Structure formats: C-alpha cells, structure tokens
Amino acid sequence: MAQFANPILPGSHPDPSVCRAGSDFYLVTSTFEYFPGLPVFHSRDLVHWRQVGHVLDRPSQLPLQGVRASGGLYAPTIRHHDGVFYVVCTLVHGTRETGNFVVTATDPAGEWSEPHWLPEADGFDPSLFFDDDGRAWWTATREIQDGRTEIYLREFDPESLSVAGEERVIFRGALRNSRWLEAPHLYKVDGRYVLVCAEGGTDFEHSVVVAFADEVTGLYRGSLLNPVLTHRHLGRAYPIAAAGHADLVCTQDGQWYAVLLATRPYGGYYYNLGRETFLVPVSWESGGPVFSPGTGRVELAYDVPDLPAHPWPDIAETDDFSSPELDPAWMFLRTPETDFWSLTERPGHLRLRVRPESITDLVSPSLVVRRQQHQDFHASCVLDFSRAWPSEAAGLVLLQNNDHHVRLLLGSDRLVTLVRRVGGQDELLAKTEVEDGLVRLGVEARGQDHQALVAVGEGEWEPLGEPFDGRFLSTPVAGGFTGVHIGLYATSDGEPSDSWADFASFTYRTLTGMDGE
C-alpha cells in the first residue's frame, strides 16, 4: 500500500481547517502578522496540496499596520454550504479593526468578500456549523481568567452574516482546571452532536478533546477517553510534539480524516519550522472519533486515503521572477501601505525599493518572505545592488520576529555583513568585501548548524564566518506562534533613500532526500 509523508504542509502552517465541496478539499491556516492573510490550499486526495491564493489579499480586507509579532490572524475555520464558502477568523491586537469577522466566496481561489466584522461575537477561534435542519451555529472561545476558557454557542444567520439569539456556554474543558480550551468545531455524526476542541495550550501540553450532546445547544459531556489525542506523555525527545487543534473532514466515500497542527523539534526541544499541518485517519467507535487508529499517535507516514491520487506539478526550486505576479508562497510583513516592489520595472527581477523601515521595528519594511519548510535546507539569492549609499543595505534574512533574526546584507563599499539579532540585541558575526557585479548570498542549514555563504558572479560559494547555532530562531527561545520565514530585504535604516535593489532569483531547496534523515 502506498504511503504519504507527514506533515502534508511543512513549515509554519498552524491551526489548519478543512472542508470538502464535492470531490475537492480546501484548507486554510493562520498567518498572524503576515500579508496576504490565510492561504487557501486545494487538494483532491488530501495528500497533495496546491496553494491557490489567499482569503485576505487586499489591504482593505486586512489592517495589520502596527500589529505586534505573533499578533494578527488567529485560527481560521473554513466551511462550505449551499455553494458558498465561509471563513471565520479573529484579528488579535489589531491597531485599527480587531476581533472576529466572516468573509465569503463562491470560489475559494477567487475573490473573497470584504470582512463583515462581528462586534457582537466576542472571544477567539470561531467556527461555523451548518445543521441538517437548515440552521447554522457559531462557536468560539472566551477567556475567563488566566488561561481558563469556555466554549459558547450562538445562532448564525448566513444571509446577514451575523450572530444573534441566546448565548449558551456549552463546554468548559475535559480536565479539571484545564487551560486554553479552544478551537471548537461542531459535527453531527449518526444523529449525535460532536464537539472537538484543543486543550492545554499550543505547545508541549497540546491535545485534542471531545464532548457529545443529543441537542446542538447541549448539554455537552466530555468523553471518558479524553484527551483523545496528545503527545505530551511521549516526552520532549519524541520526533513529533504539540499535537492538537484538529478539524475533521469526511470524504465523498465516507472516510474520515483530521488535519491538525504539530511540531517537529530538532537539536533538542527547538522547532524552527513552527507548527505544521499533519493529516491523520479517523475512525468512529461508540459514537466518538478515534484518531490514528491502532497507534493513537500522529505518525510520520500513513497509507494514502482511498481517493484517486492527484499530484500537482512540482514547484520549482528557483524563482526567477519571470512571472508578472509574485508566487502565492511569498508574503509581506504586515499590510504594505505603499508599493515597494515591482516585477515589471526590470523584467526578470524582483525590484525592492530601499526604504527607511527596518525589520527590527513593528512596521511593513521592504521585505518579501516565504516559509522555511525543511530542517536541512539551502536558501540563496542573486542580487544586483550597485548603487548602495551609506546606511543602505539589501540581501537575505532568516526572520523569526523583529527581535530574533539573521541578516546577511550587502551594503555600501561592497561590504557584506552577517548580523545575528537575539533578544533585541544585534551581534556582528562576520563581514567581507566583495568585488563589483552580481553578488550571491546564501545560508545552508544542517539541523541547527547554519552557515552563511557569499559568492560573486558565477564564482564558487565561500563561507562567511563560522557556522552559527540556529536555536535562537525557534519558538521556545524567541516566543510567539510562528516559524522561520526566509526573505529578501532592502533598507536604508531610518534614512531617506531613492535607491532600489534588484534580485535576479531566489533559490530554496532541501538538502536531504527525506527531511530529517
């Protein structure tokens, strides 16, 4: 029997939610302070996924200006009903709009509506449930005190996109004194209502719990088997940790699966890749879901679902910027307030305007990023930056957040510098002068051992400085909820500038045939 490899979406793809429309599956994940927000993935076999766009790709939809690191978009839910797709989500710590909202589309790869904000619906981690009697329901999480939370339910009107009616608290956790009961999703299986939630926080203690009721409004009683999935009892050396935040989907042939988040620590309990999306089979016994039957753990490989295999074309390792639009894998840090990039001013190049904004601040700098997706990787760019003035620099960054990142930049006097920022403090690790012409900047990682690379023109790669430890780029050190993003960057460090940096290409590839070997 053929098998698929987990995670199905490697790199920072947390809080997955999935729905089915006919024979097509669609999945969205959290994106926090990155723009565009909420990537949309499409699959026909639950194994092979292709990004087809974003839910929030217009500045009018997503006001992220000034949002703190790991603020922004939390825990979306996607659902399909009567030909319409709905996404509900929470914008956390917004400096303009904030709170819960709903958007709709008839084509998930097309244009989504402007957000309909729901000030009457407090809390976070919202979800929708469409019952077979024609009524729809909203569930969400509300914090009571110090991480103690509860799940509430209200009726949802798909026509007016609003919640109304009596509010009912339907669940307060599976374990006594439980913390961070969240991500509530409702299903109806064999006439019984099933509530699936996360519990225990989103790190090592993460878990999946379930509760049942005969009526949608409750009373919901926790399963005697709770938690029905967790890895916290397996120890921090286990290759998969923090399993939780599950959403269920039933195939057109009646098979059940769950998408969920988990982490893959390496070099100790450090996970630079952030929280990733995994797929596990689900069976039903005595009216309740059994996750990963036979093992009760999230495995690195399973038999493929009994669906027609539908792989998508391979993604090229090198982006030569020949397309008129950026690949959907690229994102910006917060919502840009100006057009700082172009693919047309110099065809075959990504041109970034050199602007005063810096990645050390809570702004939207001249930066495009994509996710680190492997423990062993090579990332590099080809840069034409021939007119740099003092204070100006451009190049490659490994970004965890504004206070934890690596900058490998070409500046004035043809000086390449390697700077590590930890806890908000910069440290110069190495520098070298390079000749005029195109410069190639790169980083290679073997686990947590990272090596910066420099080359001129078609010359051989040369190491810049000594290898450095990448553990400071992991969530357990840097905090927050995101993984590492690798980006192309230009800045004048607070000074005015009319310069630009031209990137001829960006390459990202794994350095192992099977990641983690």
Residue among 33, 182, 203, 502 flagged as catalytic: 182
What would the 3-class secondary structure string for 168-205 be? EEEECCCCCCCCCCEEEEEEEECCEEEEEEEECCCCCC
302 bridge partner residues? 4
Question: Cα 351 to chain center, whole Å?
Answer: 26
CB atoms closer than 10 angstroms to residue 310: 15
Helix (H, G, I), strand (E, B) or coil at 447: coil
| Torsion sign (Cα): 59, 63, 67, 73 | negative
Question: How far apart (Å, rounded) are the C-alpha atoms in residues 357 and 363?
Answer: 7
Question: How far apart (Å, rounded) are the C-alpha atoms in residues 402 and 213?
Answer: 45
Nearest to 119 by CA among 91, 148, 144, 81: 91
Nearest to 312 by CA among 53, 42, 510: 42
Does the active-site annotation cover 182? Answer: yes
Question: How far apart (Å, rounded) are the C-alpha atoms in residues 347 and 504?
Answer: 9
124 bridge partner residues? 141
Please check whether residue 118 is in contact with residue 99, taking contact to mean a CB–CB distance below 8 angstroms: yes
Question: How far apart (Å, rounded) are the C-alpha atoms in residues 300 and 278?
Answer: 9
DSSP 41-96: EEESSSS--EEEEEEE-SGGG---TTPPTT-EEEEEEEEEETTEEEEEEEEES-SS
Question: Cα 44 to chain center, whole Å?
Answer: 21
Nearest to 108 by CA among 56, 143, 155, 71: 56
Question: How far apart (Å, rounded) are the C-alpha atoms in residues 296 and 167?
Answer: 35
Q: How many residues does the chain have?
A: 517
Does the active-site annotation cover 15? Answer: yes
Question: How far apart (Å, rounded) are the C-alpha atoms in residues 181 and 173?
Answer: 6
Question: How far apart (Å, rounded) are the C-alpha atoms in residues 133 and 155?
Answer: 13
Active-site residues, by number, are 15, 182
